[in-house]
Structure 1
Amino acid sequence: MSLNFDKMDLPPRPKLFDFNGVSMTHFFTQNWENVQNFQARPDDILIATYPKAGTTWVSQILDMLYFGQTCPGRLTTLPIYERVPFLEMAIPNLLTGKDQADELPTTPRLIKTHFPVQFVPKAFWEQNCRIVYVARNAKDNMVSYYHFDCMNQGQPEAGDWNSFFQRFMDGNMVFGPWYDHVNGWWKKKQTYSNIHYMFYEDMIEDTGREIDKLCAFIGLSPSAEEKERVTIGVQFDNMKKNKMANYSTLPIMDFKVSPFMRKGKVGDWKNYFTVAQNEQFDADYKKKMKDPTLQLRCVI
């Protein structure tokens, strides 16, 4: 199984539209019925995040934990988007994410999604699949999403920073408002015990500690040597240089504009938010983030 981009013509930038109350583009809705009918297996692991919140990071961690020793060649020959397919992706003339997931030869199958919780195919819940959710603080998530939209031809035009800032606050983003996404998954965690809810900032602060928590959740007990190998392999600078993890093999990503993996820092938002924007954002955040049990850090 492989995605062939050799003959791929870059599609025009998609337009946002309302889809069941969530802003989406046709790349993630045109295979809707097939995606919703996806046949999950009990041992599948779904990696769920809002875009640019640590998806690739956790995907690489899980792939290395499960297959780094038994199938080491896949880490050096298969890009991350083939090892961990994007379930809802459907770009014309390419294998859909759903088909990729169906054809995965691994056990477990690692599958990623950016769906808000209400869009997740019902089979994942019915099969009691384990789900790893990663949340990133809204300010850094916004900055990362901005650069991503600038360089990814498969995303709507980013526009300038000021207009993007307002659009993010208004929730007019692919996969909907950040607020609804992190809150929706947090609420689901209270009734569905097989969700491991992680925070990007915790991973930055102590990657090894968070890998230990992740291993406890999925039931793996790597040796000290194996854990160290994974921890080193998923350091930001190492992943940024790794062509099988950094998306540099995907023509739709324009690295002349920005790398897919840019900084991987907490607090980079301070280089973009004006004082007025920060005050505006904080006031809006207080209105929308009312659950005191969900706390995200903008600095560490």
Structure 2
Amino acid sequence: MQSVLATKNFQRRPDDIYVTAYPRSGSNWTQNILIGLVYGVDVLTDAQTFDINLLSPYLELVLNGVTGCELADRSSKRQRLLKHHLPVHIAPTEIFSRGRKNVLVFRDPKDAALSYYKLYQLGPNLRKHQSPNLEHFLDRFLKGRLNYGNWWDWHKHWILYGRANPDTNLMIHYEDLKEDFAKEIRRLESFLNLSPMTSETIDRLQALTSVESMRERLDTEKNYKGMGVVNKGEANRWKTEFPPEYVEKFDALTRETFGDDDIVAKFI
């Protein structure tokens, strides 16, 4: 795909920040959080003027004939916030060669799969590839027969890279953001060398990046109207919606891939 090749060869600016995440793992949420941290929370207050594709381009996405890379190139911001979902072997080479700041977002594969299943039903370019039922989709997820490939391989290689380069990579969990938002904001501030927010501003940022607030901003003509990019935003939804036999299959593959690695222990 031409847009993926363009993303791989994309030329960044020294102060750029990447959001790297497997689909449906909290990248939209992280983008909104970073917009508030870097550009100020007031940017999140006006749903009519908010344009996530200009504020934080999704590099390999082609929307209305324009790629995220093209939108990023047009940006006048000194510090751009850039998102992608690509695995290590086709990710932007400057992440590795230039050592740019990279926020890696991880989420329980069971919750990511449920959200991805919903996106395949709603996304205009994905509907024709949707599964007839959840079980069929989960089989595809386990085999990596989806856009962006296998969840376990994707994470194995990004975790190896992130751990080998801790100065330029911050690994965060969707579940930790849900559990202790303020703590994770402090980690992001430290990693990005940002001035600390007041506690009151963090509370405001949390409110402005709630599911309800993001849906109001993103489900607009200027952004992703009708595409279902903002789902329920829950952690551990799999506990009530996942077929038990697939819980066992997902957890077995996680153990097989990562052993007792603590970075994925919360997913079992």
- Provide the TM-score with structure 1 as the length reference: 0.80
- Residue number in structure 1 paired with 2:179: 205
Give 1:234's aligned residue: 209
- 1:126 paired with 2:97, answer yes
Q: Assess if the C-alpha contact under 8 Å between 2:19 and 2:82 holds in 1.
A: yes
The CA deviation string for residues 132-167 of structure 1, in whole angstroms up to 9 with x for no partner, is: 010000110110110011100122522121110100
Q: Secondary structure at the match of 1:31?
A: helix
Pairing 1:77–2:49 present? yes
Percent identity between the two aligned chains:
28
Runs of 4+ in 1 over 4 A off after TM superposition: 69-76, 250-253
2:190 partner amino acid: A
Counterpart among 60, 63, 74 of residue 103 in structure 1:
74
Write out aligned runs for 1:91-240 (5 A): 91=63, 93-155=64-126, 157-159=129-131, 160-193=133-166, 194-224=168-198, 225-240=200-215
In structure 2, what residue type is equivalent to 1:221? S
Stretches of structure 2 that go unaligned for 5 or more consecutive residues are none
Contact 1:30 1:90 in 2 (8 A): no
- Verify the 8 A CA contact 1:199 1:296 in the aligned structure 2: no
Once the 2 structures are TM-superposed, how far is the Cα of residue 296 of structure 1 from its aligned partner? 4.5
> Which shows bigger deviation, 96-105 or 71-80?
71-80
Shift, 1:283, TM fit: 2.5
Question: Who is 1:55 aligned against?
Answer: 27
Number of residue pairs aligned between Structure 1 and Structure 2: 264
CA distance in 1, matches of 2:48, 2:252: 46
DSSP-derived class of the 2:66 partner: coil
| Structure 1: gaps of 5 or more residues | 1-28
Q: Distance in 2 between matches of 1:180 and 1:291?
A: 16
Q: Which one has the bigger helix percentage?
A: 2
Between stretches 39-48 and 122-131, larger displacement belongs to: 122-131
Q: CA 1:223/1:138 → structure 2, altered by over 3 Å: closer, same or farther?
A: closer
Tell me the distance in 2 between the aligned counterparts of 1:213 and 1:41: 23
Instruction: Judge conservation of contact 1:133–1:196 (CA < 8 Å) in 2.
Output: yes
| Counterparts in 2 of 1:41 and 1:282: CA distance versus 1, 3 Å | same
Q: Residue 190 of structure 1: SS of its match in structure 2? A: helix
Asked if 1:289 is matched to 2:264, the reply is no
2:248 — aligned with what?
279
